[in-house]
Structure 1
Amino acid sequence: MTVLSAVHQQLVETVQAGAGARVEDRVVPYEHDGQALEGYAAHDTAIVEPKPAVLVIHDWTGLREYPKARAQMLARLGYFAFAADLYGAGRRFDGHQESAAEAGKYYGNLDLMRARVRAAYDVVAKDPAVDPARISVIGYCFGGSAALEFARTGAPLAGTVSFHGRLLTHEPADVAAISGSLLITTGAADPVVPDEAIEQFQNELRTRPELDWQVTNYSGAQHGFTLPGTPAYHPVADRRSWREMVAFLEEVNNG
C-alpha cells in the first residue's frame, strides 16, 4: 500500500477493514484529449464479485495524499475507490495562489471540468472489478463542485456527494439530466458557501420536484472542514459527514 503521512494514516485507521480483507492499490495512467492523467485505485481484492465503485475528486491542490487516504478508507468498506486526476500527471500545488489559479481554469470552463471527471468515470466503468451499474462520485472542495457538475451531465450515477464544495447555480436551471441521488454537506461557518448560496442551489434543485437530494449544514464548520492538519479541520463535522456518506452510499447501492 502507498505509505501516507501520519495525519492521513490516522484518518485511514478510523475505518476498520473486514476480516480477511486484502486492500491493494495502484497508480492508473489514463488520458483525456491528449492530456496525460494519473489516477489512484484502491480496493479489497479478497472480494471477488464486481464491487460498487466510488470516484473521489480532489480539492484544488490536485491529487495529493488526502484523496488517496479517502480512497483507502472506502476500499476498506468494500468499494472500488478511484481517486481521479483532473489537473494532469504531476500537476500538484502547495500554495493558495497557484491552486486558485489552476482551479479557476476549470471553474471558468465547466465543460472541461465535467469532461475530466468523465474520463475517470470511463476508466472505472471498464474495470473488471467494478459493477458499472453502481458507480458514485464524491468530491472535496473543488472536487465537490466537480462532482455536482458531472452529475448534471446525466451520467448514470448511483449517487453524488459534495463535501464543502462551492455550490454553483445555473440560469436557466440545469438539473433535468441528473441521475441518482445527491448528498451535499456544507459548513454553517463557510464564507465561500454562505447561506444565500445554499438557498440558491436548493432553489435550482427544487425546479425538478422528483429529484432526490439532501443538504446537511454543520454548525461551526468552515470551508475544508474534513481536511485534517489544516486550521479549518472540524473533527465533529468530519465524523458526522463521513457517517452520513457511508449510510447514503449503502442506500443508493443496495436500496
Structure 2
Amino acid sequence: MRTEDFDYNHAGQSFGAYVAHDETLTGKRPGVLVIHDLWGLGEQPKERARRLAELGYVGLAIDLFGDRFQPKALTEALPIVGEMRANSRSFRDRLRAGLDQLANHPEVDSSRLGAIGFCLGGISVLELARDGADLSGVVCFHGNLDAVEPAQKGGVKAKVLVCTGGGDGIVPDAQVSAFQEEMRNADVDWQVNVYGGAEHSFTNIYADRAGIPGVSYHEKADRRSWDAMRGFFAEAFAG
C-alpha cells in the first residue's frame, strides 16, 4: 500500500490531506473522501483511508479545519464547527475543495466518487450531498442530521446511507425522523441504519477517553456499519 501526506490551498488557507491506495492494482478506481470528527485529521481518519485502500479504492482523508489543527477540547472545536455550519456556502465550498483533491488524483476514476464522514464528517458528507456534488454515494457515521439548508427535490445526486446509534442522545429520534422526511421530500435514494445500544461516536476506538457523557465506542455498531458501507459502495459504484 502506498500512502502520502500533502497540503493544498483553499481560500488563502492551507489544508492537510492523507491519501492511501493499493499500488499493486492497475487502472483508475473509485475514490472515497474521508472526513474526520471534531478532533481533526488524526490517526482514525487516516486508518479509515487505509482500510478503503484495502477494499480497492483510493482513500483520501482531508483536514477540514485548516493548518492541520487538532483540537484538544470541545471548547476549541465547537466554536469552529458552529461558524462553519452558520455559513453554508463557505462550508460547502471548503468541502468541495477537498473533493477536488480526490477527483484529480491520478489513480481515481472521477466518475465514481464517494464520501464518508464521522460526527462532524458525517455532517459534512451530507452537506456535500445536499449541495448536489457529483458523488455516487455518501455515508454518514453518527453525524448530526439537521440542516441549515435542507436538500431540494432533484438536487441530490448521491445515494445516502446514514449509520446512527439507537442510544445517541446527540442525534435523537426526532432528528432522525425529520431527516427521513427531508430525504423523502427531496426524492433521494436513502437508507438509515440504527444500531441498538450505540451512543455517539460509536466508530471511534478513542471515544471513551474524552470522558463526555453519551459518547462511547461500540464494537458491534462499528463493525456492522462498516460492513453496511462496503455493500452500499459496491452497489453505488456499480451504477
Report the TM-score, using the length of structure 1 for normalisation. Answer: 0.87
Q: For residues 135-146 of structure 1, what are the structure 2 equivalents within 5 Å?
A: 135-146=113-124
Q: Check the 8 A contact 2:116/2:122 in 1, yes or no.
A: yes
Q: Which residue of 1 aligns with 2:195?
A: 218
Does 2:168 match 1:190?
Answer: yes
> 1:173, CA displacement in angstroms?
4.9
- The one-letter code matched in structure 2 to 1:160 is V
Deviations 1:130-179 (A, max 9, x none): 00000001100000001000111111101010000000235665353111
Whole-Å separation in 1 of the counterparts to 2:154 and 2:91: 19
Which among 104, 108, 124 is matched to residue 102 of structure 2?
Answer: 124
Aligned-CA RMSD value = 1.3
- The one-letter code matched in structure 2 to 1:56 is V
1:122 is paired with a residue of what secondary structure? helix
Pick closer, same or farther for the CA change 1:73–1:165 going to 2, 3 Å. Answer: same
Q: Which residue of 1 aligns with 2:141?
A: 163
Pick closer, same or farther for the CA change 1:223–1:206 going to 2, 3 Å. Answer: same
Does 2:33 match 1:65?
Answer: no
Pick closer, same or farther for the CA change 1:149–1:83 going to 2, 3 Å. Answer: same
Whole-Å separation in 1 of the counterparts to 2:149 and 2:33: 27
1:179 is paired with a residue of what secondary structure? coil
Gaps of 5+ in 2: 209-215
Q: Which moved more, 1:169-178 or 1:245-254?
A: 169-178
Q: Check the 8 A contact 1:60/1:102 in 2, yes or no.
A: no
Runs of 4+ displaced beyond 6 Å: none
Pick closer, same or farther for the CA change 1:48–1:117 going to 2, 3 Å. Answer: same
Q: Check the 8 A contact 2:34/2:62 in 1, yes or no.
A: yes
1:178 is paired with a residue of what secondary structure? coil
Pick closer, same or farther for the CA change 1:175–1:34 going to 2, 3 Å. Answer: farther
Whole-Å separation in 1 of the counterparts to 2:148 and 2:91: 15
Whole-Å separation in 1 of the counterparts to 2:87 and 2:118: 19
- The one-letter code matched in structure 2 to 1:137 is A
Q: Check the 8 A contact 2:133/2:158 in 1, yes or no.
A: no
Q: Which residue of 2 aligns with 1:205?
A: 183
Q: Check the 8 A contact 1:175/1:204 in 2, yes or no.
A: no
> 1:115, CA displacement in angstroms?
1.1
Report the TM-score, using the length of structure 2 for normalisation. Answer: 0.93
Percent identity between matched residues is 42
- The one-letter code matched in structure 2 to 1:215 is V
Does 2:67 match 1:99?
Answer: no
Q: For residues 1-255 of structure 1, what are the structure 2 equivalents within 5 Å?
A: 23-170=1-148, 173-209=151-187, 211-231=188-208, 232-255=216-239
Deviations 1:85-111 (A, max 9, x none): 111123111212112122222122222
